[in-house]
Amino acid sequence: QVLLVESGGGAVQAGGSLRLSCVVSGRTFRDYGMGWFRQLQGKEREFVAAISWFGGSTSYADSVKGRFTISRDNEKNTLYLQMESLLPEDTAVYYCGISSTWDLPVRVDECEYWGRGTQVTVSS
């Protein structure tokens, strides 16, 4: 059974920082691309950032470029998202997803499994 468990969400003021983590079990983590997506209630899940199997390639949504950094520790089976200069519009539930390939998952349908999400709330 493949499990993804996110943590690190919370409530912060605009301009603050958070670091999200996603621990993966049940799959050889280092073989697969990983991604972060976010979703507001009633809206579609949207791409935030992705990283290839070894971390050599990354991709970011334009809205988070220069503020968010995705990384991974293949020894710890853990994906990270460092979020800086947070804005109220970053408020959402953040999900990690694991790709079915080594490549970066930049679309929702490219992720084979998902975590249950962690809430990030940014107040102005």
- pLDDT tens-digit series, residues 61-77: 999 999 999 999 999 99
The mean pLDDT of 18-40, rounded to a whole number, is 95
Reported confidence tier of residue 35, pLDDT bands at 50, 70, 90: very high
Give the chain's mean pLDDT: 96
Q: Is the pLDDT of residue 32 over 90?
A: yes
**Token pair of 49, please?**
């950032």
Rg (CA), the chain: 13
Show the tokens assigned to 8.
């690190």
